[in-house]
């Protein structure tokens, strides 16, 4: 019995002495599989960025990541990151949640509205939308789902 245990210990030590290259191959394969799994879960991602106006700071650096997932409503997720520039210390707010799509923005029946946090109370919902003629500009909308009427920049640009 002692000889078997000794043989097992020696065998394990020999196996652990395999080349580093083999370990790297296994690690690279597992990383690739992990990345592929993440892509399958999150699906296509669209990233919109911009500097939104701020009443008491230099601007709100905003990044909106929209994950389309597998196309089901449950897989529609987003991450909205806002950094309030010029405040000491700079305040960073990250909101994650689910979104829903609505068709029609103002007079454009083919426009699209993203209802962020659609599954939460109306006070927590955030609305962004784009016109079908320019899907690269995503406008921050008011609670009535209308573009904010202002000379200031209330839109994010698609980062390709």
Q: Count of CB atoms within 10 A of residue 106's CB?
A: 14
Tell me how far apart the alpha carbons of residues 26 and 5 are, in angstroms, rounded to a whole number: 28
pLDDT in tens, 39-54: 444 579 999 999 999 9
Whether the pTM exceeds 0.85: the reply is no
Hey, what CATH class is 45-159 in?
mainly beta
Sign of CA dihedral 88, 89, 90, 95: negative
Q: Which residue has the tokens 């640009």?
A: 157
Per-residue model confidence (pLDDT) at position 10: 44
Q: Is the pLDDT of residue 23 over 80?
A: no
Q: Which pair of tokens denotes residue 31?
A: 């990383």
Tell me how far apart the alpha carbons of residues 113 and 141 are, in angstroms, rounded to a whole number: 9
Query: Closest Cα to residue 147, out of 101, 96, 108?
Result: 108
Per-residue model confidence (pLDDT) at position 25: 44
Per-residue model confidence (pLDDT) at position 42: 53
**Measured torsion, CA atoms of residues 29, 34, 36, 40, in degrees rounded to the nearest 10:** 160
Residue 3 host element (H or E):
helix 2-16
Q: Is the pLDDT of residue 87 over 90?
A: no
What does the domain layout of the chain look like in residue ranges?
A: 2-40, 45-159
């Amino acid at each position: 019995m002692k000889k078997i245990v000794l043989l097992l210990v020696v065998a394990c030590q020999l196996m652990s002495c395999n080349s580093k290259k083999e370990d790297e191959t296994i690690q690279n394969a597992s990383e690739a599989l992990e990345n592929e799994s993440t892509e399958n879960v999150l699906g296509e991602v669209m990233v919109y960025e911009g500097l939104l106006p701020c009443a008491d700071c230099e601007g709100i650096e905003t990044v909106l990541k929209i994950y389309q997932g597998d196309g089901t409503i449950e897989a529609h997720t987003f991450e909205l990151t806002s950094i309030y520039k010029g405040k000491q210390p700079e305040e960073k707010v990250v909101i994650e949640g689910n979104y829903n799509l609505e068709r029609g923005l103002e007079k454009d029946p083919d426009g699209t509205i993203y209802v962020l946090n659609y599954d939460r109370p109306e006070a927590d919902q955030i609305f962004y939308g784009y016109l079908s003629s320019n899907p690269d500009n995503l406008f921050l909308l008011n609670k009535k789902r209308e573009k904010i009427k202002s000379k200031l920049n209330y839109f994010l640009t698609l980062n390709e």
